[in-house]
Amino acid sequence: MYKQHSTTPKKFGGHTSTFKSKSHFGAPKPTRRSFGGLNNSRPRFGPARNAKHSFAGGGGRPIHKKRFGGGRGERIDFSRFIKKSNQKDHSEEKPYVSKHTFADFPFNPQLHKNIKGAGFIDPRPIQDQAIPIVLAGRDVFGMANTGTGKTAAFLLPLIEKVAKTRGLNKREMILIMAPTRELALQIESDFKTLAFGFGMFSVACVGGLPIMKQIREIKLGVSFVIGTPGRLRDLIDKKVLDLSTCHSVVLDEADRMLDMGFRDEMVYIIGKTAKERQTLFFSATLSPDIKKLTEHYLKDPVFISVVSGETAKNIDQDVIRYRTKEEKLEKLHEVLRKDGSDKVLIFREMKHSVDTLAKELHASGFKVGGIHGDKRSRERIRILESFKKDHINILIATDVAARGLDIPDVTHVINYDVPQTYDTYVHRIGRTGRSGKKGNALTFVPA
């Protein structure tokens, strides 16, 4: 039933195909190869390999695989956290060559002006492949990770779509769902940049920010509703948000929303939209749950994959061994004081651990802030802005910062706690080495 959309050889790394039958999903699963960690299953990795370690007392001892996260994590081979940015991978694919320029897309002149003003030069792979399909009105399943440019891949054609329908005196509403407040707010910020001069309005429907302000904006009339599932459902239940005129739906980071337990909300919210609609799914994985959603909600979709390697090749990855908590903190201080550690993002597993480490580093004279799910939205926004604008140079966070956030010039990502899964690891370190710049990723592991 699923047949190829193009004659491109069937491989991951830049092909486009059209779903026509469920048998497509029964094909052999691709190996994990993506910007941010394509993960079609939760494998248990093979025997640990001996690996030399060049930083903080590696000593050349074997690095063993261990299970973390109270039984929830996968078995992670620590040697997978070591990769020199200059090491050559003879199996890597040739650099992607765009088929289009932004000038090739039939956008409104104002949108072309905004694209240029945003500093976009050549379309990224997901933009190059998705924009023509979305403009054609087709449903899309995009296998893409954060940092690959997918926000513009759906915002640009949808802004064009709304601009055209407004000229026909039709009211078009776009719904965009994201897993975290930070990602939803970032999408809205990108929308405001790209939709400048069109007279279009948006509302960010996220928890932690005043709901009455969101209600007022919805009642005034908006073209783009961007939010997290929980707050969107609240607004629907209050009979404030009417999605019956919503003919375009985007699920960004759909796999992450499922991981966070938003399945029921996602199904409920999509069910409130128009039956005749264009639906766009973007996900880092093709899990069984994602397959079910895709089969149920996408009509004759085009499959687009832009995966090209587990991690970016310009990120230098290493581990730091420690024996005690005191030694662990001491070695962290060494890293933070080292030349080149200009902008550092530190990940921790637990919310209280974020606050504890932030206090310890602040007491030692570091300019540091911390964010996690228990902090008020305004406080999280303030701290993130301080980090982006270099008022602080160290940000400690739980995995609320692992996906979607585009923070420029992060020199180091430090996994102070080993992540639950390798997929999470890949998303975390994707915060550094962006736009082709050199990045560094360090993971603390027990000796």
User: What are the pLDDT tens digits along the chain (447 aa)?
Assistant: 333 343 333 333 344 444 443 333 333 333 333 333 333 333 333 333 333 333 333 333 344 444 443 334 456 788 888 887 654 444 444 667 889 999 999 999 999 999 999 999 899 999 999 999 999 999 999 987 666 788 999 999 999 999 998 766 667 899 999 998 889 999 999 999 999 999 999 999 999 889 999 999 999 999 999 999 999 999 999 999 999 999 999 999 898 898 888 999 999 999 999 999 999 999 877 888 888 899 999 999 999 988 655 566 778 999 999 999 999 999 999 999 999 999 999 999 999 999 999 999 999 999 999 999 888 888 988 998 999 999 999 999 998 776 666 788 899 999 999 998 887 888 888 888 876 678 999 999 998
Please give the pLDDT value at position 436: 66
CB atoms within 10 A of CB 12: 18
Please tell me the distance from the alpha carbon of residue 279 to that of residue 269, in angstroms, as a whole number: 13
β-bridge partners, 175 = 225, 249
**Contact, 37 vs 426, CB < 8 A?**
yes
**Contact, 302 vs 279, CB < 8 A?**
no
Structural domains of the chain, ranges and CATH numbers in brackets: 65-90+312-446 (3.40.50.300), 102-305 (3.40.50.300)
Please tell me the distance from the alpha carbon of residue 85 to that of residue 141, in angstroms, as a whole number: 31
**Contact, 191 vs 224, CB < 8 A?**
yes
Nearest to 157 by CA among 184, 176, 185: 176
Could you identify the residue written with the tokens 């699963």?
29
Tell me the one-letter amino acid at 87: Q
Please tell me the distance from the alpha carbon of residue 386 to that of residue 380, in angstroms, as a whole number: 10
Q: Cα–Cα distances in Å, from 27 out to 24, 30, 220?
A: 6, 9, 48
Sign of CA dihedral 24, 28, 33, 37: positive
Please tell me the distance from the alpha carbon of residue 38 to that of residue 144, in angstroms, as a whole number: 8
Nearest to 270 by CA among 292, 297, 300: 297
Half-sphere exposure of 174 (CA within 13 A, CB side): 27
Please tell me the distance from the alpha carbon of residue 319 to that of residue 70, in angstroms, as a whole number: 22
- Which stretch of DSSP H or E encloses residue 428? helix 422-429
Please give the pLDDT value at position 310: 56
Which tokens is 86 given? Answer: 């200059």
Neighbour-count burial of 191, counting CB atoms closer than 10 A to its CB (0-12 exposed, 13-18 middle, 19+ buried): buried
Which residues have C-beta within 8 Å of that of residue 271, sequence separation ≥ 6?
none
Please give the pLDDT value at position 97: 83
Half-sphere exposure of 221 (CA within 13 A, CB side): 4
Please tell me the distance from the alpha carbon of residue 323 to that of residue 336, in angstroms, as a whole number: 19
Please tell me the distance from the alpha carbon of residue 396 to that of residue 26, in angstroms, as a whole number: 41
Please give the pLDDT value at position 303: 95
26-82: pLDDT as tens digits: 333 333 333 333 333 333 333 333 333 333 333 333 444 444 433 344 567 888 888
